[in-house]
Amino acid sequence: SEKKVIDILSQMESYVNGENDTNFSLLVQCYYLWGVRRSNSKIFSGKVKVNKKSKPYFEKVIELTENNKNNIYRIFSEHWLSK
């Protein structure tokens, strides 16, 4: 369920201790994939339509990767949000 995923993401975030944590990239990836899922798009479709349910997750990816402008999930999140 949606609530369960949100709880898991919050719990993951509480366990990750910054960008150097070995699980940091997994956290970013999970936020991105959940954003894609919430947008009702397919992961490799080449088109993601951001909606009010997915927007916060793409924004979270951007927030988490503020110090890594070349992060692939950040790049795609910025791209989808600009559409």
Confidence of residue 39 (pLDDT cuts 50, 70, 90): very high
**Closest CA relative to residue 37, chosen from 70, 13, 8:** 8
Contact 51, 77 (CB under 8 A): no
**What confidence tens digit (pLDDT) does each residue in 45-70 have?**
778 999 999 999 999 999 999 999 99
User: Look-up: residue for tokens 């479709």?
Assistant: 45
Phi then psi for residue 18, to 5 deg, are: 90, 180
Residue, of 43 and 9, whose pLDDT is higher: 9
Cα 50 vs. chain centroid, distance in angstroms?
12
For 6, the 3-state DSSP assignment is helix
- What is the DSSP secondary structure assignment for residue 14, as one 8-state letter? H
**What confidence tens digit (pLDDT) does each residue in 11-35 have?**
999 999 999 999 999 999 999 999 9
